[in-house]
């Protein structure tokens, strides 16, 4: 079975000058790794003719698949398209479908199209036009001297859509790819090393052809099982068996699998139980609401939220008692209790969640330093609270608080559905 | 004046397979940019002999300065050190200072040193040993055929310390450095191609040593001016003059410069004008609140927000009239007007912002398709509204709406401070 070699070329001065972090190459690497295509080189060059042409020539020698991002804007500093035409020795001509698509893109948005944008529908005659449904710069696919080339915009969501819709489905058609099966088990509320201790002997007993990877992120750890073989069905069953083996030890921390997120998983729990949700977010400042409402169909279970950024609003809007605020302070177990219960009433929801803390960098005291956060989950006949002691970084504190709030929701829903 | 060209080589399979994001190259780019060293290429290769040697040979042809990260661990898959010795044709010998330093590193931490770690003090005889005070893998400096090479560990804080303590101070001694000055002009509310049309003749008239780049992101375009020369003060003045020249044409779209964000810029406008803010977010679902509260000190001007995710709450909490909701619908100019005015009252704020729309993927109608969004900004004696016609992607619609809401706030604050 052949080894497919890929090279990723990122084009743009802003990447060389460190003004933009190249997250595209990282994402593409992960996607290719999942289907067994080996990235052998990543190259970043600036907006200069000779450097770009040199990168093309070098990549052609090394790789079977060459994925190019950036340099496709309508402006003068964008050179990728003309240089691809030059490199492959073909002229740039009008692609009527591409012109129609870019025109339609602007019409749909009620905006007038400029001559510059019309030109985005003019492409190298030797490329296959790949429609970009979320932007104005088309994708371009080339097949030359036994190599395959794809040129994509540098805007991450445009590149990702072209990869998902066109490139990734196409690769199995043109290459004989190895059989790899991945399953990701998503955990929350336990650190990487504790998790590793819990499952070490299971991990050590895994068969040779099944690999485990720990992929930690904020407050979460993803366990990725990768099985290599020849029979997809067999691999799928083997991995399922391994998960059944380990699940009893980590069940309380597992919220989902693969593409599931904490917000989608808790959303599904709410749907299944027919319960509705409301949020009172102080230190998380609306971020939990954003996560919940980022899920399509969340209006089925999400009633709404209040961000009471000053004590007076915790009192007047949410009905937290003046005495509680006075005696215990805004960042206290009692306050988040009353916030969660209050927001439940306002929105007539089954569940109320709340957060109050000192996100930083200012506002800390000796007794309640920056990073002190209280969260609560209130429902019919119960209120659960947790205290978090986080770090100094404001944005991290907000994000970790949101994960903890959603995990507390998950725990409450499971406990109260038993 | 010579132009100093640098290449960054990152070594490690974990970078190619997407297990680790290469933040080192980004940081190094930023540091070199500040002192006027031009990064002409970034290369990432895996832990394979031929690939690494090829990267060395290519880099030597292109660059005066070659900075290498990674592949310096004590294990067998770390090849950088032996391959540097091979490439420069010198043997690996014991460097007593280096062995003492790595031994000391373990003693200080009460850990026993292994033979493998002792070998980390053995280096190519043709390198200059550069002590690594925060790790066990030494830095290695080479001067060969007029080129300068530095090999550093891939652990970010170790690499950064070696760069700050040794490399960055050394460069001005060995190179006659040019001066590069960057200024980024941040615009919002105009597309890249419209902006380009507005300023084309100005762009074409820029002097040879001042380069313009368009850096687009969701709903925003950053204009980066880069000036090359010898006199920082002169370049700073020249760029300032160019910005003064172009500003009259684009003033309405410019919200800030360099590190400013739309949320920090609007936050500063609120602070300056002594005005307070409240938000009523329907389709943006709390995301604008999150952006506003991500800024340290935002509690000085942000009172709070309500996310009324169903009509009944737009009515009961924000006081939108039943008749408006009945006759015009939740996604209408009248509704966002009343939402913005209502949330102003509730939080007693000077400014009220609101959003209501169909984020998708469901909920669209022929008359109001997915992507239809209304936003409003209400203040003492004024209400400004805008209609947006966005795409099909829920998350993008939320993010672009947030940018439009903050931009409408910016416009209202500027108009009403005149």
Same domain, A314 and A251: no
Same domain, A57 and A105: yes
Partner A contacted by B292 (CB < 8 A): yes
CA distances to A23, A286, A355, A395, B61 from A391, rounded to whole Å, are 26, 20, 16, 10, 46
Q: How many structural domains are present in chain A?
A: 3
Q: What is the pLDDT of residues B305-321, one digit of tens each?
A: 999 999 999 999 999 99
> How far A153 CA lies from chain B's nearest CA (Å)?
11
Report pLDDT digits (tens) over A65-107. Answer: 999 999 998 877 789 999 999 999 999 999 999 999 999 999 9
User: Which residues numbered 159-198 in A keep a CB inside 8 Å of some CB on B?
Assistant: none
Residues A308 and A403 reside in one and the same domain: yes
Q: How far does the CA of residue B249 sit from the closest CA of chain A (Å)?
A: 18
Among A285, A308, A394, most B C-beta atoms within 10 A, so best to mutate, is A285
Pairing outcome for strands B277-281 and B302-308: parallel
- Residue-wise pLDDT for B351-384, tens only, equals 999 999 999 999 999 999 999 999 999 999 999 9
A16 Cβ under 8 Å from any chain B Cβ: yes
Residues 6+ apart with CB under 8 A from A233: none
Q: By residue range, what is the domain housing residue A201?
A: 179-257
From the list B285, B310, B360, the residue facing A293 with the nearest CB is B285
* Measured torsion, CA atoms of residues A64, A70, A74, A78, in degrees rounded to the nearest 10: -90
Interface mutation target, options B213, B390, B395, chain A, most CBs of A under 10 Å = B213
* Closest alpha carbon within chain A to B302: A309
Instruction: Choose one of B174, B198, B221: the last residue of a domain.
Output: B174
Contact state of B17 with A29 under an 8 Å Cβ cutoff: yes
| Residue B1, pLDDT score | 54
Residues of chain A in contact with residue B31, where contact means CB-CB under 8 angstroms, are 18
DSSP labels, B76-145: TT--HHHHHHHHHT--EEE-HHHHHHHHHHHHHTT-PPPHHHHGGGEEETTSEEE--TTSSSPEEEEEET
Q: For residues B280 and B317, is the Cβ–Cβ distance under 8 A?
A: no
Kindly state the tokens that stand for B376: 């409003």
Cis before residue B405, ω within 30 degrees of 0?
Answer: no
Any CB–CB contact under 8 A between A362 and chain B? Answer: yes
Cα–Cα distance, A244 to B359 (Å, whole number):
38
Same domain, A315 and A411: yes
Residues of A in contact with B290 (CB under 8 A): 285-287, 289-290, 398
- Helices H / strands E in chain B, number of each: 16, 17
Residues A222 and A279 placed together within one structural domain of the fold: no
Q: Is the ipTM of this complex over 0.90?
A: no
Do the chains contact at B33 and A45, CB–CB below 8 Å? no
A contact residues 71-110, partner B, Cβ 8 Å cutoff: 73-77, 108-110
CATH, residue A54:
3.40.980.10
Q: Within this chain, do residues B266 and B247 fall inside the same structural domain, yes or no?
A: no
Here the CATH number for the domain that contains residue B183 is 3.30.70.2860
Q: Are residues A193 and A286 in the same domain?
A: no
> In terms of DSSP bridges, do strands B139-144 and B372-379 run parallel, antiparallel, or are they unpaired?
unpaired
Nearest by CB: B193 against A13, A21, A114: A114
A95: Cα within 13 Å, side-chain hemisphere: 22
Taking the C-alpha atoms of residue A281 and residue B365, their distance in angstroms, rounded to an integer, is 32
pLDDT of residue A407 exceeding 90, the answer is yes
**Are residues B289 and B249 part of one domain?**
no
- Smallest CA–CA distance, residue A238 to chain B, in Å, is 24
Cα–Cα–Cα angle for A254, A255, A256, rounded to 5 degrees? 100
| Token output for B381 | 């004696």
Confidence band (pLDDT; 50, 70, 90) for B408?
A: very high
Domain match, B149 and B244 both: no
Final residue in a domain of this structure, among B257, B278, B299 = B257
Residues in A touching B22 (Cβ below 8 Å)? 26
Q: How far is CA B313 from CA A262, A354, B173, B189, in A?
A: 26, 19, 67, 31
Give me B149's structure tokens. Answer: 């090479």
User: Between chains, do A20 and B51 touch, taking CB under 8 Å as contact?
Assistant: no
Residue A213: which pLDDT band, with cuts at 50, 70 and 90?
confident
Contact yes or no for A40 and B51 at CB 8 A:
yes
- Say if strands B210-217 and B220-229 run parallel, antiparallel, or are unpaired: antiparallel
pLDDT for B76 equals 72
Q: Which among B19, B184, B304 is the nearest to A309, CB-wise?
A: B304
As to burial, measured by CB atoms within 10 angstroms (0-12 exposed, 13-18 middle, 19+ buried), residue A248 is: exposed
Assess B42–A contact: CB distance below 8 Å, yes or no. Answer: yes
* Last residue of one domain, picked from the residues A242, A257, A272: A257
Whether A65 contacts chain B with CB within 8 A: no
Give the closest of B58, B279, B307 to A304, CB-based: B307
Q: Are residues A71 and A150 in the same domain?
A: yes
CB within 8 Å: B184 and A19: yes
Question: In this complex, do A296 and B361 lie within 8 Å of one another by their Cβ atoms?
Answer: yes
pLDDT at residue A230 is higher than 90: no
Q: Do B404 and B375 meet the contact criterion of CB atoms below 8 Å apart?
A: yes
The Cα of B299 is separated from the nearest Cα of chain A by a number of Å equal to 7
Buried b / exposed e across A90-129, counting CB within 10 Å, b at 16+?
Answer: eebeebeebbebbbebbeeeeeebbebbbbbbbbbebbeb
How is residue B7 written in tokens? 């290449």
Q: How far apart are the C-alpha atoms of A338 and A324, rounded to whole Å?
A: 9
Q: Which of A17, A29, A310 is the closest to B304 by Cβ?
A: A310
Task: Convert the pLDDT of each residue in B193-248 to its tens digit.
Answer: 899 999 999 999 999 999 998 888 888 999 999 998 889 899 999 999 999 999 99
Q: In this complex, which of A16, A133, A308 lies closest to B304 when CB atoms are compared?
A: A308
Q: Please state, in angstroms and as integers, the Cα–Cα distance from residue B41 to each residue in A45, A48, A80, B10, following that order.
A: 5, 11, 16, 11
What's the CATH code of the domain at B368?
Answer: 3.90.950.20
Which of A44, A285, A294 has the CB atom closest to B42's CB atom? Answer: A44
With beta carbons under 8 A apart, name residues in chain A contacting B21. 23, 26
pLDDT in tens, B118-139: 999 999 999 999 999 988 899 9
- DSSP states of A85-132: HHHTT--EEE-HHHHHHHHHHHHHTT-PPPHHHHGGGEEETTSEEE--
Residue from the list B16, B287, B395 with its beta carbon closest to the beta carbon of A286: B287
Tell whether B137 and B235 lie within a shared domain. Answer: no
Residues B146 and B29 in one domain: yes
- Please report the pLDDT score of residue B396 as a whole number: 93
Average pLDDT, whole number, for chain A?
A: 94
Q: How many Å lie between the alpha carbon of A244 and the closest alpha carbon of chain B?
A: 26
**How many whole angstroms separate alpha carbon B94 and alpha carbon A258?**
49
- pLDDT, tens digit (0-9, with 9 covering 90-100), for B44-89: 999 999 999 999 999 999 999 999 999 987 777 789 999 999 999 9
Cβ neighbors of B323 (< 8 A, separation 6 or more) are none
């Amino acid at each position: 079975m052949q080894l497919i070699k890929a090279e990723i070329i990122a084009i743009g001065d802003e990447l060389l000058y460190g003004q933009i972090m190249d997250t595209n190459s990282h994402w593409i690497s992960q996607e290719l790794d999942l289907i067994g295509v080996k990235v052998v080189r990543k190259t970043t060059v600036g907006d200069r003719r000779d450097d770009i042409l040199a990168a093309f020539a070098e990549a052609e020698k090394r790789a079977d698949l060459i994925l190019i991002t950036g340099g496709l804007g309508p402006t003068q500093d964008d050179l990728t398209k003309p240089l691809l035409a030059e490199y492959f020795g073909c002229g740039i001509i009008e692609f009527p479908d591409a012109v129609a698509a870019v025109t339609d893109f602007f019409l749909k948005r009620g905006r007038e199209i400029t001559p510059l944008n019309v030109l985005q529908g003019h492409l190298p005659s030797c490329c296959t036009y790949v429609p970009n449904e979320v932007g104005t710069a088309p994708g371009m696919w080339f097949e030359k001297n036994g190599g395959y080339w794809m040129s994509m915009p540098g805007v991450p969501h445009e590149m990702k859509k072209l990869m998902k819709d066109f490139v990734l489905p196409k690769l199995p058609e043109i290459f004989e790819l190895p059989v790899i099966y991945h399953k990701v088990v998503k955990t929350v509320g336990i650190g990487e090393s504790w998790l590793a201790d819990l499952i070490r002997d299971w991990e050590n007993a895994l068969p040779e052809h099944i690999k485990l990877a720990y992929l930690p992120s904020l407050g979460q750890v993803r366990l990725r099982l990768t099985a290599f073989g020849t029979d997809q069905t067999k691999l799928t069953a083997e991995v399922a068996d391994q998960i059944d083996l380990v699940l009893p030890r980590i069940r309380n921390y597992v919220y989902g699998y693969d593409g599931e997120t904490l917000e989608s998983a808790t959303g599904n729990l709410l749907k299944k139980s027919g319960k509705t949700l409301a949020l009172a977010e102080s230190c998380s400042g609306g971020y939990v609401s954003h996560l919940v409402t980022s899920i399509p169909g969340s209006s089925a279970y999400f009633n709404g939220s209040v961000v009471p950024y000053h004590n007076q609003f915790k009192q007047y809007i949410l009905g937290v008692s003046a005495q509680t605020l006075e005696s215990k302070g805004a960042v206290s177990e009692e306050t988040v209790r009353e916030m969660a219960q209050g927001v439940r009433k306002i929105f007539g929801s089954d569940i109320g969640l709340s957060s109050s803390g000192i996100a930083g960098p200012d506002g800390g005291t000796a007794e309640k330093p920056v990073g002190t956060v209280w969260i609560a989950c209130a429902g019919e006949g119960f209120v659960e609270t947790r205290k978090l002691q986080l770090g100094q970084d404001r944005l991290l504190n907000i994000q970790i608080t949101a994960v903890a709030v959603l995990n507390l929701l998950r725990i409450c829903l499971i406990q109260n559905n038993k």
